[in-house]
Amino acid sequence: MFTEIKSFDEFLQLKENEEAVLAYFSTDACNVCKVLKPKVEELVNAEFPKIKLVYIKSDMLPEVAAQNQVFAAPTILIFFDGREYIRKSRNIGISELQQEIARPYSMIFEE
C-alpha cells in the first residue's frame, strides 16, 4: 500500500529510517501513472514485501522532485539503506523492474 508523502522532511526521514523505499513520483495529469501504479504495488507486495511504498505528487511537492532530480512522470526511485539504487522514468516495464529489484533486495534481506 502506497503512503502519500506530504513534506520533504517526511521523505528524508523515511529514507533514513527504512531499509528499502520505493518512491513513485507522479502528477494528477499523468494517465500512464494511473495505470502503472497498481501494477508496481502488486509487484512489490507479492515479491518484495519489505520495501516501503511511497507516493509523491511531483506537482504538489516540487522540492522533493527537484532534490531527487525527477523531471518526468512517472519516475520510480528505489533506495536501499538510504542510497538510490534504481531509477526508472517514463517507459517502465514491470518485468524489467522486477529483475532490477531482485538482486539488491536479496542481498539486503537475505534470510
CATH of the domain at 62: 3.40.30.10
Confidence of residue 5 (pLDDT cuts 50, 70, 90): very high
pTM reported for the whole predicted model: 0.94
Confidence of residue 41 (pLDDT cuts 50, 70, 90): very high
Can you give the pLDDT at residue 90?
A: 87
pLDDT in tens, 45-87: 999 999 999 999 999 999 999 999 999 999 999 999 999 999 9
Q: Which domain holds residue 69?
A: 3-108
Measure the CA–CA gap between 30 and 95, rounded to whole angstroms.
Answer: 21
Smallest CA-to-CA distance from 26 within 52, 56, 64, 6 is with 56
